[in-house]
Structure 1
Amino acid sequence: MAAQSLARTLILSSTLTPNINPTSFNCLKSMAPTVNTTTTFAPLQRRTMSAFEARISLVFALASQASSVSQRRKFLMDLASETAKYVFPKRFESQNLEEALMAVPDLETVRFKVLNRADKYEIREVEPYFIAETTMPGKTGFDFNGSSQSFNVLAEYLFGKNTSKEKMEMTTPVITSRTRSDGERMEMTTPVITKKVENQDKWQMSFVMPSKYGSTLPLPKDPSVRIKEVPRKVVAVVAFSGFVTDEEVKRRELRLRDALKNDSGFRVKEGTSVEVSQYNPPFTLPFTRRNEIALELEKKKE
């Protein structure tokens, strides 16, 4: 310690005494301890906000802005109105006991007209609507991790991660569909070329967008989110309760395809893939949940 103190003193005095021996100076300088002034920080990891956390964050953000009595009153009224949509749900017209027990939140949904009801399905004409869509990870559509990740990406867009920082209202249902393609056929040449389509055999998750925006929806900041318009179409729909699994979807899709073979007016459109709609939040009791599978149809040729 004494040697280190002496070294520091001589180094300091060397700045005031230009005639010091350079060799002695270097020797003494080497005796001084080296101080490392570089601090290394661990890289910050960005934590993805869950859909539930995003919703709660939005509620607290609104509360913090309610600085006056009138603003607080409006906030409480909005909160009560939002809660009532889930506490007092609405019901579709039911065809059996299972459907009679189903309930959906009182949120904006896709508009449609029922064209026909059969014993095992319902045929609807669905009006055009816009969706925000993202590709789900993996090759299954209903594993918990993949579904949660995709839901969070879309929820962030809906609650403000867009070019206008617009916080939009939640709608229903959440739609999951599979992209199937055998490839893109080019014009007739030699040889015939088939190009693999991006996201082939992948599942897509979609949020139905509030109709008041139409084609003026704010653009997403996340490049994995795409805005699309779904054109008018005719679909066959089967509703069921409980939790959705890949096995359950496959079983009900096969049953619906078999039933539609006997339909007198419509048939399954060539190349169509099953579409699954889920209307309820995760905390809904299984027997009151409403899920639907749908297949796009076309008129049979006479």
Structure 2
Amino acid sequence: MAIVATFSLPAQALEKPEYSVLYEDGKFEYRLYQPYIVAETEMVGMDDSSEASNEGFRRLFDYISGANSAKSKVAMTAPVQQSRIDSSEKIAMTAPVQQFETETGWRVGFMLPGKYSMENAPVPSDDRVYLRLIPARTMAVVRYSGRWTERNLQKQQARLLQRVEADGLTIQSSLESAFYNPPFMPPFMRRNEIMVEVQGLPESLSDALSANASR
């Protein structure tokens, strides 16, 4: 129920992180994302991603429904994101939908609407929810449809990592999964993505972008 509630509006109607497509090859893209703020929460000790997702969504849905310092509603955005992170990664805590897995659990979060800054965003009432600023970054992305199964996810992860490796790029983050649609959306109509931050761009693409910029 919590997942359905967060998707009460069509994905097309929800605000999304701002990005520009630097390169596109079928379902594969390199994107340049602009900075944005995410609301996040961690599910420590949970191994099951679905269980962690449901608990994380409940906490975050409470936050955007008014469980915050302003007692105000915050508009839902898309996508919901999930990814595995290194347990040694240090996250800057300030005041909080992506999901990340650590050795001790998962982190779930989503973007706050662009009108908010770290200075004016409502502070969560639940101390398990926090805000974090994600800086501008270049992401390698594979877009796919289908069910949210571990088998499908691993297949897309392999496609993404093989492409990044073939392009000779350095990975800068853990893998992130992005889900744009509610569970009741037919699998073949869903927009799902797997992405990872990379350093730089393939040499051929960098040369092409430089040539275009000089014209």
TM-score normalised by structure 1 residue count:
0.57
**Conserved? CA contact 2:175–2:196, under 8 Å:** yes
Please, which of 120, 127, 144 is the counterpart of residue 240 of structure 1?
144
Q: Does 1:116 align with 2:23?
A: yes
CA shift at 1:202, angstroms?
Answer: 3.0
TM-score normalised by structure 2 residue count:
0.78
Q: Which residue of 2 aligns with 1:165?
A: 71
RMSD: 2.6
Task: Indicate the structure (1 or 2) with the bigger Cα radius of gyration.
Answer: 1
Aligned length: 190
Secondary structure of the corresponding residue to residue 167 of structure 1: coil
**Conserved? CA contact 2:3–2:183, under 8 Å:** no
Q: Which residue of 2 aligns with 1:90?
A: none
- Kindly provide the amino acid, as one letter, of the partner of residue 157 in structure 2: E
**Conserved? CA contact 2:40–2:109, under 8 Å:** yes
Q: Does 1:202 align with 2:202?
A: no
Cα distance in 2 for residues equivalent to 1:281 and 1:53 = 6
Secondary structure of the corresponding residue to residue 287 of structure 1: helix
CA shift at 1:161, angstroms?
Answer: 0.5
The structure carrying a bigger helix percent of its residues is 1
Please, which of 247, 257, 267 is the counterpart of residue 169 of structure 2?
267
Percent of aligned pairs with the same amino acid: 34
- Could you say if the C-alpha distance between residues 268 and 223 of structure 1 is closer, same or farther in structure 2, counting changes exceeding 3 Å? same
CA shift at 1:147, angstroms?
Answer: 1.6
Cα distance in 2 for residues equivalent to 1:256 and 1:132 = 26
CA shift at 1:52, angstroms?
Answer: 6.9
Secondary structure of the corresponding residue to residue 151 of structure 2: helix
Map 1:182-261 → 2, pairs under 5 A: 200=103, 202-215=105-118, 216-261=120-165
**Conserved? CA contact 1:180–1:202, under 8 Å:** no
Cα distance in 2 for residues equivalent to 1:54 and 1:171 = 12
Cα distance in 2 for residues equivalent to 1:146 and 1:301 = 36
- Give CA deviations for 1:97-121 in whole Å, capped at 9, x if unaligned: xxxxxxx331100100000112451
Cα distance in 2 for residues equivalent to 1:212 and 1:233 = 20
- Give CA deviations for 1:139-194 in whole Å, capped at 9, x if unaligned: 243x2x3221111110000110011101111111111122213588xxxxxxxxxx
- Kindly provide the amino acid, as one letter, of the partner of residue 113 in structure 1: S
Please, which of 139, 154, 159 is the counterpart of residue 47 of structure 2?
139
Cα distance in 2 for residues equivalent to 1:301 and 1:152 = 40
